[in-house]
A and B are shown apart, each in its own frame.
Chain A
Amino acid sequence: MSVPTIERIQSNPKFLAMVEAKRKFSWTLAIIMLAIYCAFILVIGFKKEIFGAPLGPDTVITWGIPVGIAVILSAFVLTGIYVRRANTEFDRLTREVIEEAQQ
């Protein structure tokens, strides 16, 4: 990549906006995922009777089971949300930035 291209990309406000949006988006999702996992572990570490309690009076299924499955699903869903936005919006902006730099 030549130096003028780098400078053009770097000074393109669209690029800066895309980088900023992507940074915010990916770190927000990463922190949500970490927060979910840490909360899960901390409940187990300090207050595990919450997860040990049955869902209702006539069931043996405890709260821990749907919560655990939900953590697994959240990992999948969060990844999906990221990939969807990155593969459409961010990739489109990136393409535009590259095209503008090469003109």
Chain B
Amino acid sequence: MKRLSLVLASLAAATPLWAADAVGGEVAKRSLNIHAIVMFFIFVAATLFITYWAAKRTRSAKDFYAAGGGITGFQNGLAIAGDYMSAASFLGISALVYGSGYDGLIYSIGFLVGWPIITFLVAERLRNLGKYTFADVASYRLQQAPVRTFAAVGTLVTVALYLIAQMVGAGKLIQLLFGMEYSTAVVLVGILMVLYVLFGGMLATTWVQIIKAVLLLSGASFMAFMVLSLSGFNLETMFGKAIEAHPKHAAIMSPGGLVSNPIDAISLGIGLMFGTAGLPHILMRFFTVADAKEARKSVFYATGFIGYFYILTFIIGFGAIMLVLNQPQYTEMIMKDGKEVASLIGGNNMAAIHLSHAVGGDLFLGFISAVAFATILAVVSGLTLSGASAVSHDLYASVWRHGRSNETDEIRVSKMATVFLGIVAILLGIAFEKQNIAYMVGLAFSIAASANFPVLFMSMFWKGLTTRGAVLGGLFGLIIAIVLIVLGPTVWVDVLKNKEAIFAYKNPALFSMTAAFFFTWLFSVTDNSESAHKERAAFLPQFIRSMTGVGAEGASKH
């Protein structure tokens, strides 16, 4: 058990999402990186131009929330993949491969396998039933006010945790790559994301994500290609050189300490798999395509791009072992436990960045740094839009105005919410600069899997679900997930500095999600109110719409 927590603790320092801060701890400011800054400004100029173009096309609520429903399956697949390929996952997974070899692959497979499940079970029903937010689906035949309030809380909590992690990561990464002040970087990210969302809505947010996905995939492909070409396109040579260079030698070719406890590993897998299916900023992307057919295609393309990306990061990680490890220009001496040890400049998370310099010089280093920044911008924009939609579409229009507000007011509220969220994100980003935020994205995924996903899933698959079951079951899932994370090793030991964790596992999803399903069931079957009977009877028309798409939201034509 002790060994496991050690392994997991070291994992927390290196893993992508869990340690969502792409660069953990204190980072030293670097000198200004001119190539990176120039390329980043080109990216910003291009995306602001797209925002201007999108702003002219964004008039109705449907345009603002769902890009008019006119995104194609292929484009949406790229955008979804873009949401998933965050800077933390690019830098984090390649760092994990760099540090421990094969274990990095195990981790990325956990991220990937949720996508087929989403395709088979969720994507088309979601598209056929929803309009702008996943709360549309969850509350389809239930009482609007309580269910939407719950869904909005679930959305805002997930978005806030994810945003803090991204903002802090952004600040540190930019500080390191561009030589900018932490607070300047956080303010810059906050302002740009608000501009994209405020003026360009979902259309701009989607295109920013698509462009970044293409840049990141091309950059990563080039790096992997160079690594392969430097090993004479012979995998034997590549792995052989890596084994020679790495202090762990042949051990990097086989599973190491990552999955020494299968229960924690399965729990992690469940959290990743079903958490993905409960992340509001991912779910909202299914409403940007015309119909169920395009929704299915989106996930198919997304799965392909994400799988390809993970294979690239695996090669990049090994490439970094081969070309960056032990190279004096990428190494610095740091004090660790009173001894001077060699370490990668900026920490292991910089492995991919240094590799870009090793294979492509200053210019390509600038490109990859700019792409890493662009990645953060694209992801936080999606998060902001998702949070703003929960406020305006769910809380304002449906709960507060009982669905009697007009579109203009609703859009105005969502824009106010966007600005508000931007300010909050900047303030939280600055407030959390020196905090240990390693647990935040883990918590976001666990909450998504334990609160949002069970309610959404039951609403589509189980006739017996009632309002009481959905709200209480979802709340139990939310609370249990938070409590178990706080009592577990990540917060109880690493943040609160207690000796022994009260809850032994780092990943609570296996337990909290099961509990959420159980309580949702329990509070539904014991619900004998009149409205509960009506809600059960309303399942059939909902089921037929979810299967056939009759009555579903189409694409707006203009």
Residues from chain A with Cβ under 8 Å of B124 in the complex: 86
B253 on the A face (CB < 8 A): yes
Provide the bound-state CA to CA distance between A54 and B239, in Å. 12
In the complex, how many angstroms separate the beta carbon of B319 from the nearest chain A beta carbon? 15
In the complex, how many angstroms separate the beta carbon of A8 from the nearest chain B beta carbon? 10
Are A60 and B239 interface neighbours, CB within 8 A? yes
B438 on the A face (CB < 8 A): no
Provide the bound-state CA to CA distance between A42 and B259, in Å. 9
Are A75 and B102 interface neighbours, CB within 8 A? no
Provide the bound-state CA to CA distance between A51 and B253, in Å. 9
Main secondary structure of the interface of B (DSSP, over half): helix
B483 on the A face (CB < 8 A): no
A103 on the B face (CB < 8 A): no
With A19-B547, A52-B253 already in contact, the answer to whether A83 and B300 are too (CB < 8 A) is yes
Are B109 and A52 interface neighbours, CB within 8 A? no
A17 on the B face (CB < 8 A): no
With A82-B296, A83-B296 already in contact, the answer to whether A41 and B117 are too (CB < 8 A) is no
Provide the bound-state CA to CA distance between A68 and B169, in Å. 29
A89 on the B face (CB < 8 A): no
Number of interface residues of B (CB under 8 A): 52
Write the A1-18 contact mask toward B (1 if CB under 8 angstroms, else 0).
Answer: 100011001100001001
B361 on the A face (CB < 8 A): no
Provide the bound-state CA to CA distance between A10 and B124, in Å. 19
Residues from chain A with Cβ under 8 Å of B541 in the complex: 1, 6
Partner of B300, one of A29, A33, A80: A80
Are A62 and B547 interface neighbours, CB within 8 A? no
Provide the bound-state CA to CA distance between A64 and B279, in Å. 31
Which one of A45, A59, A73 has the greatest number of beta carbons of chain B within 10 Å?
Answer: A45
Residues from chain A with Cβ under 8 Å of B544 in the complex: 1, 6, 9-10, 15
B365 on the A face (CB < 8 A): no
In the complex, how many angstroms separate the beta carbon of B208 from the nearest chain A beta carbon? 25
Residues from chain B with Cβ under 8 Å of A49 in the complex: 254
Are A75 and B297 interface neighbours, CB within 8 A? no
- B250-294 with Cβ < 8 A to chain A: 250, 253-255, 258-262, 265-266, 269, 292-293
With A60-B250, A60-B253 already in contact, the answer to whether A75 and B116 are too (CB < 8 A) is yes
Provide the bound-state CA to CA distance between A59 and B307, in Å. 25
Are A5 and B550 interface neighbours, CB within 8 A? yes
With A45-B261, A48-B254 already in contact, the answer to whether A82 and B117 are too (CB < 8 A) is no
25 A-B Cβ contacts within 8 A?
A1-B551, A6-B544, A9-B548, A26-B121, A29-B120, A34-B113, A37-B109, A40-B106, A41-B106, A44-B255, A52-B253, A60-B236, A60-B240, A64-B102, A65-B105, A69-B311, A72-B109, A72-B311, A73-B307, A76-B304, A79-B115, A79-B303, A80-B300, A82-B120, A97-B548
Q: Which residues of B contact A (CB under 8 A)?
A: 102, 105-106, 108-110, 112-113, 115-117, 119-121, 124, 235-236, 239-240, 243, 250, 253-255, 258-262, 265-266, 269, 292-293, 296-297, 299-300, 303-304, 307, 310-311, 540-541, 544-545, 547-551
List 6 tightest A-B contacts by C-beta distance, closest first: A52-B254, A45-B262, A26-B120, A48-B255, A44-B259, A83-B300
